[in-house]
């Protein structure tokens, strides 16, 4: 370890936090000026298109998780439950309902009201969520319907008849959406601005893919769970924005420097882990510490995959045909995000091989059935495919009532005991 810091180390986290503050300051100012925003989601945000209409982007998922990280989620959840929302539905939705009832007020600032909601079907709850806003604000929402993979291993690609049908469907919807956006904003669609935002998205995707690859180094330059969540925030909030593109290019520089200097995370890396699911935001820092204390580093996660809306693929748009290419990128990216949840077995096996992984942590949560429903079965399938230890722990991303730190710790401690014992056995040639 060289010990020198030329301002490069930790830059991603510092700049990420700064960009996040700037984003929220901008939203607060816009809300206070009475402006509206586009409400979008992480899986298929269409930031590239929405920015061309000068619509500020609000990500309710990110807002909600922030209430949990800041230990305030329970107040929001209680408020929504008081008006009839069940304890058994998505906590993000409930925190957002309470946020809307509070006039957009969040611990980080104030969000504008929605002028439009643009969503994909990557998560069905997105659709139910948008229907809540439709009832609250009588504003339009547009569901961009993205056909996913029809069966395991059945992805189709350009040139295949099925793929072309799907692409035509998505392209037609994009053109409809453009018309809706023109109506909502009163602005004409500017294809050259779209080319510009798409070129920023290209730079971001290229760099994000590279950042993920760089974590194959030993030690891993970043922790996929803690650092990675900061990167994801920028990846979503600044998609199609020059600042986002530059941020990720800088991040590549930082990660390459760390790799070259043999620098890892703050943990003395003993075990390389993959995290499958959504983080435990109510005890976000502590959850990670429980692994760090044993020398566990998360070198990858499915979260970095699906919550980046497919940016992990490094997909680059063809700027000569922006609308068609945006449709294709959306189709492929959102489909990939869905695959990372439903058909993840083979991809996890690849992650294990490419990242030299010692163990997998499956973390299903009460709040999110999209991510969690298949995890027990995926784990079984993966165990049949690879001889690798795994941990299966349930909690929640929002609701501290279903998070038991003591129980989690017992399970995590036992998991590491198993990892250590396995290592000793392997070393002894048993």
- Of the listed pieces 11-19, 60-68, 85-93, 407-415, which binds another protein according to CB under 8 A? 85-93
Give the range of 99-107, 139-147, 259-267, 309-317 binding another protein by CB under 8 A: 139-147
Q: Is 345 in the site for another protein (CB under 8 A)?
A: yes
Angle at 125 between CA 238 and CA 335, to 5 degrees: 60
| Residue with the two structure tokens 């075990």 | 271
Distance of closest approach, residue 143 Cβ to another protein, in angstroms? 5
- Decide: helix, strand or coil at residue 351: helix
Q: Are 305 and 276 in contact (CB under 8 A)?
A: no
Q: Does residue 106 interact with another protein by CB under 8 A?
A: no
How many angstroms from the chain centroid is the CA of residue 378?
A: 20
Q: What are phi and psi of 10, to 5 degrees?
A: 85, 0
Does 85 engage in binding with another protein (CB under 8 A)?
Answer: yes
The DSSP bridge pattern shows strands 109-110 and 105-106 to be: antiparallel
Beta bridge partners of 390: 360
Q: Judged by CB under 8 A, how many residues of this single chain contact another protein?
A: 58
**Cα dihedral across residues 224, 398, 141, 109: positive or negative:** negative
Q: Which residues contact 305 (CB under 8 A, 6 or more apart)?
A: 312, 336, 337, 340, 347
Q: Give, as ranges, the residues between 349 and 408 that touch another protein (CB under 8 A).
A: 364, 366, 368-370, 372-378, 380-381, 392, 394
Please, what is the minimum distance in Å from the beta carbon of residue 424 to another protein?
30
Is the CB of 103 or the CB of 162 nearer to another protein? 162
Residues 6+ apart with CB under 8 A from 182: 53, 188, 189
Candidates 16-24, 230-238, 306-314, 337-345; binding stretch for another protein (CB under 8 A): 337-345
What DSSP string describes 158-185?
TTSHHHHHHHHHHHHHHHHHHHHHHHHH
Name which position in 145, 160, 190, 260 contacts another protein (CB under 8 A): 145
Q: Min. distance of Cβ 271 from another protein in angstroms?
A: 24
Does the footprint of another protein cover residue 147 (CB under 8 A)? yes
> Residue 110 phi/psi, 5° resolution?
-120, 140
373: Cα separation from own chain's centroid:
18
Please identify which residue in 1, 7, 135, 192 interacts with another protein, judged by CB under 8 A: 135
**How far apart are the C-alpha atoms of 371 and 337, rounded to whole Å?**
10
Q: Which stretch, 5-13, 190-198, 220-228, 340-348, contacts another protein (CB under 8 A)? A: 340-348
Count the alpha carbons within 13 Å of 325 in the hemisphere toward its beta carbon.
17
Rule CB under 8 A: is residue 88 a binding residue for another protein? yes
> Do residues 43 and 334 touch, judged by C-beta distance below 8 A?
yes
Site string for another protein, 167-186 (x = CB under 8 A): -xx--xx--x----------
Quick check: 67 binds another protein (CB under 8 A)? no
Stretch that binds another protein, among 140-148, 204-212, 253-261, 305-313 (CB under 8 A): 140-148
* Window of 57-65, 164-172, 207-215, 320-328 that interacts with another protein by CB under 8 A: 164-172
Contact set with another protein (CB under 8 A) = 83-86, 88-90, 93, 121, 123-125, 127-128, 131-132, 134-135, 141-145, 147-152, 162, 165-166, 168-169, 172-173, 176, 338, 341-343, 345, 364, 366, 368-370, 372-378, 380-381, 392, 394
């Amino acid at each position: 370890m060289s010990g020198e810091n030329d301002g490069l180390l930790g830059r991603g986290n510092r700049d990420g936090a700064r960009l996040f503050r700037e984003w929220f300051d901008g939203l607060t100012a816009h809300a206070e000026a009475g402006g509206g925003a586009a409400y979008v989601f992480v899986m298929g945000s269409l930031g590239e298109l929405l920015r061309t209409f000068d619509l500020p982007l609000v990500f309710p998922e990110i807002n909600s998780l922030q209430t949990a990280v800041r230990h305030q989620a329970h107040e929001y959840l209680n408020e929504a439950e008081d008006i009839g929302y069940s304890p058994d539905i998505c906590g993000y939705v409930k925190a957002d309902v309470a946020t809307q009832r509070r006039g957009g007020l969040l611990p980080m600032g104030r969000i504008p009201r929605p002028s439009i909601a643009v969503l994909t079907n990557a998560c069905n709850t997105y659709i139910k969520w948008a229907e809540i806003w439709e009832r609250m604000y009588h504003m339009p929402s547009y569901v961009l319907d993205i056909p996913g993979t029809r069966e395991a291993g059945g992805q189709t690609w350009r040139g295949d008849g099925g793929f072309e049908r799907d692409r035509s469907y998505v392209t037609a919807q994009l053109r409809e959406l453009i018309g809706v956006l023109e109506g909502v904003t009163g602005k004409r669609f500017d294809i050259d601005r779209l080319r510009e935002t798409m070129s920023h998205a290209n730079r971001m995707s290229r760099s994000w893919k590279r950042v993920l690859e760089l974590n194959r180094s030993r030690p891993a330059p970043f922790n996929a769970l803690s650092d990675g969540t900061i990167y994801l925030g920028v990846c979503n909030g600044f998609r199609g924005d020059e600042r986002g593109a530059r941020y990720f290019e800088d991040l590549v520089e930082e990660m390459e420097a760390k790799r070259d200097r043999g620098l890892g995370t703050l943990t003395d890396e003993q075990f390389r882990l993959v995290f499958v699911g959504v983080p435990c935001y109510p005890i976000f820092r502590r959850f990670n510490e429980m692994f760090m204390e044993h020398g566990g580093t998360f070198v990858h996660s499915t979260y970095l995959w699906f919550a980046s809306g497919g940016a992990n693929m490094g997909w680059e748009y063809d700027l000569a045909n922006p609308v068609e290419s945006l449709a294709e990128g959306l189709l492929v990216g959102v489909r990939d995000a869905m695959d990372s949840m439903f058909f993840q077995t083979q991809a996890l096996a690849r992650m294990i091989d490419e990242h030299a992984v010692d163990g997998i942590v499956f973390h299903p949560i009460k709040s999110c059935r999209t991510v969690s429903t298949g995890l027990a079965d995926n784990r079984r399938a993966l165990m049949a495919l690879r001889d690798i230890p795994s941990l299966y722990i349930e909690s929640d991303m929002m609701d501290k009532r279903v998070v038991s730190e003591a129980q989690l710790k017992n399970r995590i401690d036992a998991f590491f005991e198993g990892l250590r014992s396995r290592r000793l056995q392997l070393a002894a040639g048993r």
